[in-house]
Amino acid sequence: MTIRMLRTLLAVAENGTFTAAAEAVFLTHAAVSQQMKTLEDEWSVRIFDRTRRTPELTPLGRALVEQARQVVAAYDNLVPSVMGEEGLRGVIHLGAAPTTLVGLVPLAIMLLKRDFPRIKVNVVPGLTTNLLQQVERGSIDLAIVTRPRVVPRNLTWLDIANEPLELLASTRTVSDDPLHLLRTMPFIRFSRQAVVGEMIESWLQDRNIAVEDSMELESLESITGMVLANLGVSIAPRPCVSPVNPLPLKHIPLDPTRLYRNLCVACRVDHVRPRMAAEMHKRLLQAASIGLFDPDKLKGDALG
């Protein structure tokens, strides 16, 4: 038995098939199958039920997977536990909602790599629902998402910031009344496939605000570009980390005590590298406290 075999076993459990696991750990299907057969022979147990078209974990196999997680976690934390900061290294797969990719995520990664230069961060963009599925499967380590109303029980949630939702309007609009603008201007909708989009729709319906939809977009950058062109108004979160050169738009408050999103880090309860996740979360909090992504000015105390 090797740590590599245990990682392959975890990949099979998390991805569901030998083929998907092979892609996750960069092996061939035959190599994955051979490693699993070696484990079964060495332990003299049946880990998989191969009578089915797609081999499935047996009850004993599932129990072994949970023990394997602990063994792999202990192995991954062996060097960091005795070397402190110098021992933290490797790749962290970080999922991130599109609205965080301009300010929060680059600043946090910059802070992390300053302290731990041997860490490599692989960023996976996506909407909250899709990212949470990837976290649950183990294909990414953690994700920066909007906390949904119903949360999976097997995930841990670490708060980053509450971001109020606000009305975005062109500076060429005459009125500053958000209700008037929503009722009279075309509405550029945040995608309803996103948790934020669902929140916005619920808020509009609760207040009987009828809007004239003109387009539905996923990224904050595309929405703000359309608003800048005075093609309509929109509702979007005010980022906890602002870009250094934001577009000149009106930012009109709506209902900050009720209409906001809870930006969180989500990771599995049984995350195999808890130290890595904790350090990433710490840098996200630090980035949110700085509040502005300006690499040229991030010196001295800002990076201390």
Query: Domains in the chain: how many in total?
Result: 2
Average model confidence (pLDDT) across the chain: 87
Residue 258 and residue 170 share a domain: yes
pTM score: 0.73
CATH number of the domain bearing residue 253 = 3.40.190.290
On whether the CB atoms of residues 190 and 237 are closer than 8 A, the answer is no
Query: Given the DSSP bridges, would you call strands 142-146 and 186-190 parallel, antiparallel or unpaired?
Result: unpaired
Task: Give the range of the structural domain holding residue 185, as residue numbers without chain letter.
Answer: 89-304
The mean pLDDT value for 85-114 works out to: 86
- From 42, 76, 110, the end of a domain falls on 76
Express as a percent the part of the chain with pLDDT over 70.
Answer: 92
Residue 37 and residue 151 share a domain: no
Residue 95 has φ and ψ, to the nearest 5°, of -85, 145
Task: Give the separation between CA 81 and CA 69, rounded to whole angstroms.
Answer: 17
Whether residue 184 has pLDDT greater than 60: yes
CATH number of the domain bearing residue 63 = 1.10.10.10
Structure tokens that stand for 11 in this block: 């990949």
3-state secondary structure of 173: coil
User: pLDDT digits over 126-142, tens only?
Assistant: 999 999 988 887 788 89
Residue 237 has φ and ψ, to the nearest 5°, of -70, 145
Residue 122 and residue 17 share a domain: no
List own/partner pairs for 63-71 with CB under 8 A and 24 or more apart: 64/9, 65/9, 65/10, 65/13, 66/270, 68/6, 68/9, 68/10, 69/10, 69/270, 69/272, 71/3, 71/6
Whether residue 303 has pLDDT greater than 70: no
Closest CA to 264 of 162, 196, 166: 162
Express as a percent the part of the chain with pLDDT over 90.
Answer: 46
- From 22, 49, 76, the end of a domain falls on 76
User: pLDDT digits over 11-40, tens only?
Assistant: 888 888 888 888 877 888 889 889 889 988
